[in-house]
Amino acid sequence: MTYGWSELLKSGLGTLTLPCFFLAPGYLASSLTNVFEFRKQSWVERLLWSLVLSVPVSLVLAVHPGVGLSPLWTLRLFELLFLIAIVRVVWDIRHDSGAGHASWDRYATICAVAAAGLVAYCLLAAAPLQIHQKLYESAAWQDWNVRIQLVNSALRGGSPPGNPMFAIDGVAPPLHYYYFWYVLCAQISLLTGVGARAALTTSAAGAALALMACVFLSLKYLGVSRHNLRRQCAASLMVGCVLGLDILPAVLGVVLPFRRVHPDIQLWLDDRSPSWLHLILWSPHHIGGLVCCVIGALLVLRTKDISGWQRAVYALLAAVCFAAAAGTSTFVTALFVLVCLAIVGDAAWRREWRVVQTMIGAGVLSLLIAMPFLHSATAPQGQGHARGAERAIKISVRYNDQAHQMLMRYFPAKGAAQDFGHGHRFAIPLRVQQMARPLLILSMFLVDFGFFLFVLGDRVQRDFFSPGRMERNQRILWLMFLGVAVPGFLVTSSPAELNNDLGRHAGMCMRFVLLLWASPMVATYLEQLGQAPSLSSQRKIVLQRCAVGAFVLGLAGQVWQIAVNRFDIPLVEAGEAPPYTIATRMPNIGWRFHQIHLAMEAAALATAPNAVVQANPNGRLEPVYLLYTSRQMAASDDGCNVPFGGDPSACPPIAQSLVGLFGGTGPRFHGMSNILPQMPLQPELITTTNFDRVCREDRLSIVVATYSDPAWHHPESWVWQKQPVYANSTARVFACPIP
C-alpha cells in the first residue's frame, strides 16, 4: 500500500474516534447541567450542543492543567466518559418526554450531507497524493510540518509537551506555545495508533463539525432573525464558502505572470481574512479557539434571565471555554477579551448585573484553570528572551505593511537598493508611492471583503438608520464585530513574526459575525427568488445585482483555492505556479518528497521514540524533512525554532556545530542563513571524526544527509566515508556511534 493511501485510511480510521472526543464529553456536560434546557430540546439541537461543548471540555481534560497525569491514564478517562455518555444517552431516550422533537426536512438533509462533505474534504485535502514514486502534498504541508511535530512531542512527553525542534543535551525544553489542541490530537493517536498526521487530520474534521454546530446555534441564540432558522442554517453553509474578490488578483497573476503574483488565491495578501475551508485544514486549532470563545460568551449572555445555582453552572462552563481557548489560540482569545469587556460594559450600562457577575466570575475561574499554561507561556526562557519580545505588536493600519511591500516589489522607488528584477523600468518616485498607498490599502480592503461589504452596509442601514430600538442580539453582534475590528485594523503582530497573524485572526472573527448577518439575507433572497419581483428602486436593484455578482465571484474563488491548494506541487513542477518556498525550488519536487519520506521512515524504524534525529538545520530540504520525521530534533533550523521554547542563547553553538558538519552555508543548493553568519565549507568539519564528536555532544541517534547539503558533494566527507543505514539518491541515513 502506498504512503498516500495509508495516510488516507488512517485518517478515516481516526474519524471513528470523533464521538469519543468531539461528542461524548459535550453530551455529558450538557445533559448533566441541562444547559439551555438541553433535555427539552430536539435531538438535533442536543447533537449541536454536544459538538460545541465537547471542544472546550475535551481540551481541558486532555491537558489537565496543573494535574500530573500520564497520557495513557488521560486516555482511560476519555474512554470512561465515552461509556458513561452511552449510558446517559440510553437513559435520556427512555425518559424522553417527546417535547421539542423536530421533523426531518430537506434543510436537515442538506446540513447532514454538508457535514459528511466537510469530513471528506478534510481527509482528501490533507492526505498526500502519491503517483508511482512521487509524493504530491497539498499546500498545507508548509504549516503541517510544524504542527505534526507538536503532536509528536505531545505523544512523547504528554502535557505540557517539549519543543520538538530544539534539544539541549538530548532534552527538549518546555513548549512555549499554545499546545492544548496538539495534546488532544495525541490522545486521538493513542486511541487508534494512527500516528500524528492522521490524528491532526481527524482533529480538522472535528473542528469543521464543531464550527458548523457553533454557527447554527449562534443563528438561533444570537441571530438577528428567527424566521425559518433551518433555511438560514442551510444558507450559512453557502455563505461560509464565499471569499472576497480574491479571484481577481489571482486571475491577474496568471494573465500577467511576470508580476509574480502567486496563483494561490489568498497568498497575494498576508493580512487577508482567511476562508473557513482554508482555516479548517491549515489551522484547526484556531477554529477550536473561536468555537470556545463564542460558546463561552453565549453561555454568559444567557444568564440574564437565570439565577441561583444554574447561573454558577453557566459560569463554570464558560470558564472552561475561555481557559481552553487561551491554550488553543492566543490571538483569538486576546481579541475576545476585548469583546467580553465590551459586553460587560454594555450589560452594566443596562443594569444586567447577572451578566456582569457571571462574566467576572467566569473570567477569574478561567484564569485559575489556565494558570499552569499561562505561567509557562509567559516565563522568561533565558538570555535574549527579553530582546526577542521587545515589540510583540505595533500600531499600524491594516494592509499598510502589505501595501508597502507590493509597491516596492512591482514599482520600486528610484534609487532603491532592491528592484526585484524589474530594473527601473517600473520605478516611480517615492513621494508618488506614499500618495498611492492609501488607495492601494482601500483596494485591498475591497478585495478582501467583497460580498461582505454589502452585508456590512445592509446591517449599518438596518441598525443605525432605521426607526426602532436596536434589539439585544443586534447590539451584542455589533459589540463582537467592533471588539475585533478595531484592534484588527489598528494593531499588527508583524514585528514579532513574518505575517500579521493578529490581523488574520481578527478577519476570521469578523467573518464569523458577518456570516451570522449574511445568512438571513441570503435565505430571504433564495426564498423570494421564484416569486414575483417586488417594487424596488433602481438603486436597490443595482446594489442587489452587484452583491450577487460578488457572491458568485466569492464562490468561484473558493473553488479556485481548493483546487490550487490541493495541486500546489504539481502546478509548480509543471511551471504553472512559481516556487514560492525554498524547498520547491528544485527539479522533480514530488520525487524528492517521496525519497525524503522513505529516508525518515527508515530513521524511525532504526530508533526508539525518544531518539534525536538530525538533518541539516540550514538545508533547502529542511522543511520537507520536518514534515516526515517523527523524532525529536536538536535544531530544526539555524534558529532552533526557539519561539516555540528554549533559551535563545543556547542555540547558536548547537546550530553552528551542525551547519559546519553539513558543509556550512554554501550557496549551491540552499540560500544564505538569516540567523547564522556565513560559514564557508571547512574540510576539518566534514570528517568522520567530527561526525562522531557532534553526535556525542548533541546526543544524536541518527544523522540524515541530503543532496542539497554541501558535504554531499565532497567524496572525502563523512557522507561518503561512513556506511549508511539507508540510502537513496536524495538522502542518506547514518547511525551515530553508541556511547
Is residue 174 within 8 A of residue 376, CB to CB? The reply is: yes
Query: What crossing angle do the helices spanning 180-192 and 3-15 adopt, rounded to 10°?
Result: 100
pLDDT band at 312 (very low <50, low <70, confident <90, very high): very high
The answer, yes or no, to whether residue 385 has pLDDT greater than 60, is no
Is residue 403 within 8 A of residue 441, CB to CB? The reply is: yes
DSSP 710: G
The answer, yes or no, to whether residue 386 has pLDDT greater than 50, is no
**How many angstroms separate the Cα of 51 from the Cα of each of 102, 215, 231?**
19, 12, 21
User: How many Å apart are CA 630 and CA 557, to the nearest integer?
Assistant: 35
Burial of residue 689 (CB within 10 Å: 0-12, 13-18, 19+) is exposed
Q: Which value, to the nearest 10 degrees, does the dihedral of the CA atoms of residues 244, 285, 49, 199 take?
A: 120
User: How many Å apart are CA 217 and CA 220, to the nearest integer?
Assistant: 5
User: How many Å apart are CA 545 and CA 95, to the nearest integer?
Assistant: 52
Rounded to 5°, angle at Cα 402 from 400 and 404: 70
At 482-491, the pLDDT tens digits run 999 999 888 8
Burial of residue 101 (CB within 10 Å: 0-12, 13-18, 19+) is exposed
In 610-641, which positions are buried (b, 16+ CB within 10 angstroms) versus exposed (e)?
A: ebbbbbbbbbbbbbbbbbbbbbbbbbbbbbbb
Is residue 235 within 8 A of residue 519, CB to CB? The reply is: yes
Candidates 684, 702, 557; CA nearest to 615 is: 702
The answer, yes or no, to whether residue 272 has pLDDT greater than 70, is yes
Q: CA 256 from chain center: how many Å? A: 31
Three-class secondary structure of residue 415 per DSSP? coil
Q: How many CB atoms lie within 10 A of CB 677?
A: 9
User: How many Å apart are CA 663 and CA 657, to the nearest integer?
Assistant: 10
**How many angstroms separate the Cα of 111 from the Cα of each of 232, 236, 275, 426, 699?**
11, 10, 19, 51, 53
Is residue 186 within 8 A of residue 203, CB to CB? The reply is: no
* pLDDT computed for residue 693 by the predictor: 95
Ramachandran category for residue 308: left, alpha or beta (phi over 0 → left; psi -120 to 50 → alpha):
left
User: How many Å apart are CA 340 and CA 700, to the nearest integer?
Assistant: 48
* pLDDT computed for residue 584 by the predictor: 73
R_g of the chain, CA atoms, integer Å: 27
Cis bond before residue 161 (omega within 30° of 0)? no
The answer, yes or no, to whether residue 197 has pLDDT greater than 60, is yes
The answer, yes or no, to whether residue 204 has pLDDT greater than 60, is yes
The answer, yes or no, to whether residue 316 has pLDDT greater than 60, is yes
Task: Work out the end-to-end distance of the chain between its first and last CA atoms, rounded to an integer number of angstroms.
Answer: 37
Candidates 47, 44, 45, 56; CA nearest to 23 is: 47
Q: What residues contact residue 438 under an 8 Å CB cut-off, 6+ apart? A: none
Please name the residue that has the C-alpha cell 500530573: 68
At 210-264, the pLDDT tens digits run 999 999 999 999 988 888 899 999 999 999 999 988 888 888 767 765 555 465 6
pLDDT (mean) for 517-521? 94
C-alpha cell at 683: 574540510
pLDDT band at 420 (very low <50, low <70, confident <90, very high): very low
pLDDT (mean) for 693-719? 93
pLDDT (mean) for 164-193? 92
Cα atoms in the 13 Å half-sphere on the side-chain side of 142: 12
The answer, yes or no, to whether residue 665 has pLDDT greater than 60, is yes
* pLDDT computed for residue 439 by the predictor: 85
User: How many Å apart are CA 605 and CA 315, to the nearest integer?
Assistant: 49
Which of 151-155, 200-204, 339-343, 465-469 is the least confident region? 465-469
* pLDDT computed for residue 359 by the predictor: 95
At 128-146, the pLDDT tens digits run 999 989 999 998 898 899 9
Candidates 556, 558, 580, 554; CA nearest to 569 is: 580
The answer, yes or no, to whether residue 388 has pLDDT greater than 70, is no
Asked whether the CA dihedral 507, 510, 516, 517 is positive or negative, the reply is negative
* pLDDT computed for residue 687 by the predictor: 94
User: How many Å apart are CA 702 and CA 737, to the nearest integer?
Assistant: 9
The answer, yes or no, to whether residue 209 has pLDDT greater than 60, is yes
Is residue 270 within 8 A of residue 276, CB to CB? The reply is: no
* pLDDT computed for residue 177 by the predictor: 86
* Beta bridge mates, 734: 703
Q: What is the pLDDT of the chain when averaged over all its residues?
A: 86
User: How many Å apart are CA 134 and CA 325, to the nearest integer?
Assistant: 39
pLDDT (mean) for 352-363? 94
Rounded to 5°, angle at Cα 352 from 349 and 354: 140
**How many angstroms separate the Cα of 482 from the Cα of each of 216, 485, 486, 489?**
22, 5, 6, 10
Cis bond before residue 643 (omega within 30° of 0)? no
C-alpha cell at 240: 461560509
C-alpha cell at 708: 542539497
Is residue 514 within 8 A of residue 489, CB to CB? The reply is: no
The answer, yes or no, to whether residue 41 has pLDDT greater than 70, is yes
* pLDDT computed for residue 267 by the predictor: 62
User: How many Å apart are CA 662 and CA 665, to the nearest integer?
Assistant: 9
Is residue 455 within 8 A of residue 543, CB to CB? The reply is: no
pLDDT (mean) for 333-345? 95
C-alpha cell at 57: 471540555
The answer, yes or no, to whether residue 406 has pLDDT greater than 80, is no
